[in-house]
Amino acid sequence: MLKNDFEIITLKKDTITDFAKERNLLLAKSKATWVFFVDSDETITEKLKREIVEWLNGSIANNYNGFYVYRRNYFLGQYVGTDKILRLGRRGKGQWQRRVHETWQIKGRVGVLKNPLIHLTAKNLYEFIGKIDNYSTLHAKENIESGKKSNIAKIIFYPMFKFIQSMAMGRGFVMSMLQSFHSFLAWSKVWRLQNT
């Protein structure tokens, strides 16, 4: 492992109202050159660890400021698809943005790692519905702050589109319904906030 040049940071806190802010605070505390962010419901495989160390120990890493990683998502024990997220970055080359569904905006060249991060989205349905309620509230506040408005069409049709999109991505009926429900809640909450 690299000495003092690489740090794995786990974001683990009971109540988070701004995920980007929390990640940026952790980033500011780090003394390492390279930082890899992991959530408490994610696991780094041994193959991914080895790949990261090999990349960072090689001279080619000097040409990059960050790396995307593929994240294999599991919902109630079932595989529901893979997404690509930026989680390995050179400290000082970017900041996290958005209070929920946050992204790391890194300046400069960004590569892609081959081995996946494992994401266990929820232990049970009750826990996942709680996440949906919390995230939809944060999403609504983010949309209001970004100047986005809700209307009846968004409340009705965005969830339908989200369901179709999720099904097309192979996430299954239950997960697709729940993602559609998240969209419905988020835009309904925007409607409520803009009309109070």
Same domain, 136 and 111: no
Same domain, 102 and 145: no
> Which of these three, 87, 120, 153, is where a domain ends?
120
Same domain, 38 and 96: yes
Same domain, 22 and 48: yes
Same domain, 138 and 102: no
Residue 196 C-alpha from the chain's centroid = 30
The angle subtended at Cα 38 by Cα 32 and Cα 43, nearest 5°, is: 125
Measured distance CA(163)–CA(168) in Å, rounded: 9
Domain count of the fold of the chain: 2
C-alpha radius of gyration, the chain, whole number: 18
Query: pTM of the predicted model, to two decimals?
Result: 0.82
The mean pLDDT of the chain is: 91
Q: Tell me the sheet residues that pair with 37.
A: 9
- Residue ranges making up the domain that contains 140: 125-194
1 lies in a domain?
A: no
Asked if residues 45 and 73 have their Cβ atoms less than 8 Å apart, the reply is no
Same domain, 108 and 160: no
60 lies in a domain?
A: yes
Indicate whether 4 pLDDT > 60.
no
> Which of these three, 91, 120, 149, is where a domain ends?
120
Give 1's pLDDT tier (boundaries 50, 70, 90): very low
Nearest in space to 75 (alpha carbons), one of 118, 45, 43: 118
Q: Residue 40: phi, psi to the nearest 5?
A: -65, -20
pLDDT, tens digit, for every residue of 86-110?
999 999 999 999 988 899 999 999 9
Same domain, 89 and 172: no
Same domain, 43 and 89: yes
The CATH number of the domain where 36 resides is what?
3.90.550.10
Q: Considering only 12-16, 75-79, 113-117, 125-129, which range has the smallest mean pLDDT?
A: 12-16
Query: Cα-Cα-Cα-Cα dihedral of 163, 168, 170, 171, to 10°?
Result: -10
